[in-house]
Structure 1
Amino acid sequence: MTGHPEGAPCWADAVFPDAGAAKDFYGELLGWTFAEGDPKYGGYAQAYADGAAVAAVMPRMPDAAEQPPAWNLYFATPDADATAARIRAGGGTLVVEPMRVGEFGTMLTARDPSGVHFSAWQPGGHQGFEKRDAPGAFCWAEVNTRDTDSADAFFRSVFPFEAKRIADEHVDYQVWQLDGRPVIGRMRLGPEVPAEVPPYISVYFGVDDCDAAVATVRRLGGALRFGPMGSPFGRFAAVSDQQGAAFAVIDLATTEGEMPRLE
């Protein structure tokens, strides 16, 4: 496994009321296979694409019955305690303090001042994604929030991001980079998004054919939220699975239009 630079998305997982149904859904949609969930870690089951670790699912705990299914993104950190200190200093909230997870590593979960939930991972034996930017694997993520000023200031104080803005007066979108390489986007939630939709991070998984993937999502009981839409980065769509967890699918090979200018 290769390491991930500080601030880079390095892992994604989700908690479901019915983990078995989630395995069936993502197994058919993305071709994932799953390890047997370890009872010692609440049935946490790692997902694989072509033998490489790409994500994980786990059953919801009985004391979290009101927790809605959602994908959770982890940012890499070499020091979870130092990251936690910067989260506090930046006005964020620690939902789960830095916690050792066996020999695998140390995690924390937090919320930024605008309400975006995320996690950080200090690797031990588990380095994170073993495959990405390919069908069946993580490809991209976006912080979606209404309070962009707070989110921009917070995340750049916690992680070493350099922010670049897409030069388009019709959209408020930033690309956060590490050493000149784009790693995650930030999108302002517009008035067309219902007020009851909280800020969130959208996780993108790669597929061979976006339109076919959307058809599979619907056939399996999921829903189309937006798209499919062509872009210079790939053809993508926002969807949700049959238990309501939102995510996006993208075909990186099918591109349309010119790359936007960053400034």
Structure 2
Amino acid sequence: MSTAPIGSVVWTDLTVKNADNVKDFYAQVVGWQANPVSMGDYDDFTMQLPSNNQDVVGICHAKGDNANLPAQWLLYFKVANLDDSISQTQAGGGKLLSAIKHYGSQSRYIIIQDPAGAVCALFEETP
């Protein structure tokens, strides 16, 4: 479980058509190291700090459930209750861009668009 407080940015990733090229770009520009994450028939990547191999961001292919995501850095905000945040998103004029997804058995998230058109993810840790 994360010790990050509610409202914190707990992850960031970038979804693009060619993650292989883009991860190489960021490896050279920023200095990150690519760590492949198998998605079955292709790899997405976590990008790691070279000093300690800590994962800091993800770079993903725009395939499957991620095919329609914009090519922008996607912030994951930690929320207390995902269902409540989904209700507030819809009540406030936002849109749900994905179904609720599970990340292992410890968390779930959804990708939303705010009324101004900005896209982010809402992330809830589950007991």
Question: Under a length normalisation based on structure 1, what TM-score does the superposition of the two structures give?
Answer: 0.42
Residue type at the aligned position of 1:105: S
Aligned residue runs from structure 1 range 215-226, under 5 A: none
Contact 1:80 1:98 in 2 (8 A): no
Aligned residues of 1:34 and 1:45 also touching (Cα < 8 A): yes
Aligned-pair Cα RMSD in Å: 2.5
Classify 1:114/1:42 alpha carbon distance in 2 versus 1 (closer, same or farther; 3 Å): farther
Contact 2:23 / 2:45 at 8 angstroms: preserved in 1? no
Which structure is higher in RCO with an 8 Å CA cutoff and minimum separation 6? 2
- Which residue of 2 is the match for residue 38 of structure 1? 38
Give the 3-state SS of the residue equivalent to 2:87 in structure 1: helix
Name the counterpart of 1:89.
Answer: 91
**Which amino acid in structure 1 is aligned with residue 102 of structure 2?**
R
CA pair 47-98 structure 1, distance change in 2 beyond 3 A: same
The 1-side partners of 2:20 and 2:116 are apart by 33
Amino acid at match of 1:69: A
More divergent stretch after superposition (48-57 vs 96-105):
96-105
Query: How many residue pairs are counted as aligned between the two chains?
Result: 123
Shift of 1:68: 4.6
- Stretches of structure 1 that go unaligned for 5 or more consecutive residues are 125-263
* TM-score (norm. length: structure 2): 0.81
- Please give the residue correspondences for 1:1-263 in structure 2 after superposition, counting only pairs within 5 Å: 2-40=2-40, 43-49=43-49, 50=51, 51-61=53-63, 64=67, 68-103=70-105, 105-123=107-125
The alpha-carbon deviation at position 25 of structure 1 amounts to: 0.8
**In 2, Cα distance between equivalents of 1:25 and 1:103:** 33
Mapped partners of 1:41, 1:101: distance in 2:
19
Whole-angstrom CA distance in 2 between matches of 1:33 and 1:47: 5
Q: Tell me the alpha carbon deviations over residues 99-121 of structure 1, each in whole angstroms, 9 at most, x when there is no partner.
A: 21223521111111121111111
Residues 44, 103 of structure 1: alpha-carbon distance in 2 compared, 3 angstrom cutoff: farther
TM-aligned CA distance change 1:28 to 1:101, over 3 Å: same
- Can you give the 5+ residue segments of structure 2 that lack an aligned partner in the other structure? none
- Distance change (3 Å), C-alpha of 1:42 and 1:111: farther
SS at match of 1:36: strand
Mark the structure with the bigger radius of gyration.
Answer: 1
Instruction: Note the alpha carbon deviations across 1:117-165, whole angstroms, 9 max, x for none.
Output: 11111236xxxxxxxxxxxxxxxxxxxxxxxxxxxxxxxxxxxxxxxxx
Inter-partner Cα distance in structure 2 for 1:119 and 1:41? 25
**Secondary structure at 1:35's aligned position in 2?**
strand
The letter for the 2-side match of 1:107 is Y
Q: Classify the secondary structure of the residue corresponding to 2:99.
A: strand
Q: 1:3 to 1:41 in 2, by over 3 A?
A: farther
- Hey, what does 1:132 align to over in structure 2? none
